[in-house]
């Protein structure tokens, strides 16, 4: 079978209807709490973190499912939408807590335009130029803890884990711009929402410590002071049985001989130390075992393309 339903590389215009996407590539993105299968020991680690009000640090290779657990916990416990802070080498504690558009405020002052859009002289309202960050939103007082994913903490600047210590220990922070502001009460927009929360004298104090999951690919070591404040869990090496359960939860094709072969070969390559991600396996099975999927040499070429080791060019 020659699988060539869309682009053909001949420069001719044609209408091609795309097949439905795999479940994990539908948009807007949906939580996959029902498909997640926690590895052995993960539920105990989660419950320990919840009980002790400590962050959960999950370490494992890329694509091993480290960040998936928080969506299932948030769904099962009714913690609302998961807040996400994706870490880069430029991330700072301040941006995790709040964002302040100082230049925008200065520009509005210079123009003399009302910051709230009303037909009246500007009152220099600071609120439109402030937004809480994901960590800052998670620490707002609430009746239920919020769920916060701090993704790839090992990609951060060397100082960020240490900078987090005090905030995670005392569960509060100040917004200096509001501490100095003339009005004691300011409504500030939450992260990922149009909702605002009233902040008094620039101080935010949590009433329920959030459920925080930090993920790490294991690319660096963290200070002991940071590690002792976390519950730590290392993702186990994926086995054939674990991969079969994951594929079954997402695709339900594990009875297909070709899917079983792909799972077995994938597990063997992981045992041999290759760096592969679970979503590579899901992609390969979704494409290669489809009823209208490729066959022959084309299937082999696509298998090689989809299952390339991540640590090599």
Confidence at residue 53, expressed as pLDDT on a 0 to 100 scale: 97
Whole-number percent of the chain with pLDDT over 90: 71
Is domain 42-234 in CATH 3.30.1360.120, yes or no? no
Mean pLDDT of 219-248: 93
In this predicted structure, the answer to whether residue 176 has a pLDDT above a threshold of 60 is yes
Confidence at residue 63, expressed as pLDDT on a 0 to 100 scale: 78
Mean pLDDT of 27-47: 90
Confidence at residue 306, expressed as pLDDT on a 0 to 100 scale: 96
Query: Could you tell me how many helices (H) and strands (E) the chain has, helices first?
Result: 12, 11
Based on C-alpha coordinates, what's the Rg of the chain?
A: 24
In this predicted structure, the answer to whether residue 290 has a pLDDT above a threshold of 80 is yes
In this predicted structure, the answer to whether residue 135 has a pLDDT above a threshold of 90 is yes
Q: How many whole angstroms from its chain centre is CA 215?
A: 9
Question: Which is higher by pLDDT, 32 or 44?
Answer: 44
Confidence at residue 1, expressed as pLDDT on a 0 to 100 scale: 53
Confidence at residue 120, expressed as pLDDT on a 0 to 100 scale: 47
Tokens for 170, please give them. 């005392």
In this predicted structure, the answer to whether residue 118 has a pLDDT above a threshold of 70 is no
93/234 Cα distance (integer angstroms): 25
Sheet holding 211-216, edge to edge: 83-86, 147-151, 211-216, 56-59, 231-234
Distances (CA, A) of 148 to 134, 222, 248, 252, 290: 7, 20, 28, 30, 36
237/275 Cα distance (integer angstroms): 11
160/86 Cα distance (integer angstroms): 13
Mean pLDDT over all residues of the chain? Answer: 91
Sheet holding 203-205, edge to edge: 98-100, 130-132, 185-189, 196-200, 203-205, 172-174
Mean pLDDT of 34-46: 93
204/171 Cα distance (integer angstroms): 9
CB atoms closer than 10 angstroms to residue 224: 8
Query: pLDDT band at residue 2, thresholds of 50, 70 and 90?
Result: low
Query: pLDDT band at residue 124, thresholds of 50, 70 and 90?
Result: confident
Whole-number percent of the chain with pLDDT over 70: 95
* H-run or E-run covering 211: strand 211-216
**What are the residue ranges spanned by the domains of the chain?**
42-234, 238-306
In this predicted structure, the answer to whether residue 121 has a pLDDT above a threshold of 50 is no
In this predicted structure, the answer to whether residue 311 has a pLDDT above a threshold of 90 is no
Confidence at residue 307, expressed as pLDDT on a 0 to 100 scale: 96
Query: pLDDT band at residue 225, thresholds of 50, 70 and 90?
Result: very high
In this predicted structure, the answer to whether residue 253 has a pLDDT above a threshold of 90 is no
Tokens for 67, please give them. 């960040």
150/85 Cα distance (integer angstroms): 5
In this predicted structure, the answer to whether residue 313 has a pLDDT above a threshold of 80 is no
Tokens for 16, please give them. 């091609």
């Amino acid at each position: 079978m020659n699988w060539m339903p869309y682009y053909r590389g001949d420069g001719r215009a044609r209408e091609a209807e795309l097949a439905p996407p795999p479940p994990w590539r539908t948009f807007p993105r949906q939580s996959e709490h029902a498909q997640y299968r926690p590895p052995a020991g993960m539920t105990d680690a989660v419950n320990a973190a919840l009980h002790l009000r400590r962050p959960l640090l999950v370490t494992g290779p890329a694509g091993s499912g480290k960040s998936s657990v928080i969506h299932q916990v948030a769904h099962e416990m009714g913690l609302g939408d998961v807040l996400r802070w994706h870490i880069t080498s430029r991330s700072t504690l301040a941006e995790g807590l709040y964002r302040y558009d100082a230049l925008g405020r200065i520009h509005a002052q210079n123009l003399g335009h009302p910051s709230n859009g009303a037909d009246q002289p500007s009152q220099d309202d600071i609120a439109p130029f402030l937004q809480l960050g994901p960590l800052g939103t998670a620490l707002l007082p609430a009746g239920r803890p919020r769920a916060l994913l701090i993704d790839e903490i090992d990609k951060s600047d060397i100082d960020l884990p240490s900078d987090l210590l005090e905030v995670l220990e005392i569960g509060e922070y100040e917004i200096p711009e509001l501490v100095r502001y003339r009005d004691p009460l300011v409504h500030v927009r939450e992260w990922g929402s149009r909702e605002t929360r009233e902040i008094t004298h620039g101080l935010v104090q949590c009433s329920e410590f959030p459920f925080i999951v930090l993920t790490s690919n294991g690319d660096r070591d963290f200070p002991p002071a940071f590690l002792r404040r976390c519950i730590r869990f290392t993702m186990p090496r994926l086995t054939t049985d674990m991969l079969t359960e994951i594929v079954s939860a997402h695709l339900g094709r594990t009875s297909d001989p070709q899917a079983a072969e792909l799972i077995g070969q994938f597990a063997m390559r992981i045992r041999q130390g290759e760096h592969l991600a679970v979503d590579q396996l899901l992609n390969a099975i979704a494409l290669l075992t489809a009823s209208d999927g490729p066959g022959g040499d084309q299937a082999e070429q696509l298998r090689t393309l989809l299952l390339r080791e991540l640590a090599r060019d």
